[in-house]
Amino acid sequence: MGIISLITGWPGPSGFGSATTAEQATAGVDAADLTVIITGKQTNINHSFCIYRNDSGSGGASGIGLETSRVLALRGAHVIIAARNMETANEAKQTILKTYENAKIDVLHLDLSSLNSVKTFADNFLALNLPLNVLINNAGIMFCPYQLSQDGIEMQFATNHLGHFYLTNLLLDKMKNTASATGIEGRIVNVSSVAHLHTYEEGIKFDAINDKNSYSDKKAYGQSKLASILHANELSRRLKEEGVNITVNSVHPGLIMTNLMKHSLNLMRIMKLVTYLLWKNVPQGAATTCYVAVHPNLKGVSGKYFLDCNEWPASDFARDPKLAKKLWDYSNHLLDSALQRS
């Protein structure tokens, strides 16, 4: 795998590549026994100057989360779309149902920038008494001007990492119980980004996560995506030690040609022009997430980073087990402090 594969779409060892669509990556997969949560769009009036990755909550026929939801529903999974904007999430549900009238789709409210909302979502889901086989931590915001979440944490770190970290913690026992009762391997997928390469000098600013003077919107985004990989790796290590039948992996969906560009800065438009050969359409952008979430070829594969449906080397920071352990402890400390204040 390399730059030529990215440009040409030539398949890697998995048999899939950058040109593979989500339907192709899951062809022949029967997901009828699976219940899947996919976190979706986190639009918020306080985020009005952020760029939003298109995801499950976006309306119409765009967004990699919507495509992920559609394809997994096509394969028979019961899909729970977790999104802040219920109107657009329900539009996504109706879009899927128009194509597959027997699709199993539900929508629940979730604002990942609010720990109280994360707890409420988890309580509401658990009250449904459904199994949980797959958790896809997909939602994300990026390139926000400096601001703090309502819990007093830098917004991109709070939304992209800590919200998903807390959500995963709250749902983990349900996933363990489901895997044990059904014998079906559970899977957790953290949607990261190649942007994890562009972070602060120390990787994660543990001592200055909220420092306004040193804040960079691009590096803060890269930091949050690095945290997504480190979270997946450390959780994978812990579950292996417990002997739990759950895998945890992270993915880079690729550069996606979605409505993101209409919200972006001129710099993003220039980047798209210069790197146009590397950009994917939405069905291609959802392929790696769907592949890692349900493909039988990845049974037992955990603690890996995937690009174009193939394992890919993440950064040195992302592969540092000491940094992963430090982030785990730091995230728990942040949670404890924030929840005590609320």
Q: In sequence order, what DSSP letters do the residues of 36-87 get, joined into one string?
A: EEEE-----GGGTTSEE---TT--TT--HHHHHHHHHHHTT-EEEEEES-HH
Residue 113 CA to residue 130 CA, distance in Å, equals 25
Amino acid identity, residue 220? A
Residue 86 CA to residue 42 CA, distance in Å, equals 10
Q: Record the tokens describing residue 117, joined without a space.
A: 């909302």
Residue 267 CA to residue 44 CA, distance in Å, equals 23
Q: Sort 276 into a burial class: Cβ within 10 Å, 0-12 / 13-18 / 19+.
A: exposed
Q: Are 151 and 342 in contact (CB under 8 A)?
A: yes
Residue 133 CA to residue 168 CA, distance in Å, equals 12
Catalytic residue among 52, 166, 215, 305: 215
Q: In sequence order, what DSSP letters do the residues of 78-125 get, joined into one string?
A: EEEEEES-HHHHHHHHHHHHHH-TT-EEEEEE--TT-HHHHHHHHHHH
Nearest to 19 by CA among 7, 27, 28: 7
> Is residue 215 annotated as a catalytic residue, yes or no?
yes
CA 299 to chain centre: 20
Q: Catalogue the active-site residues.
A: 215
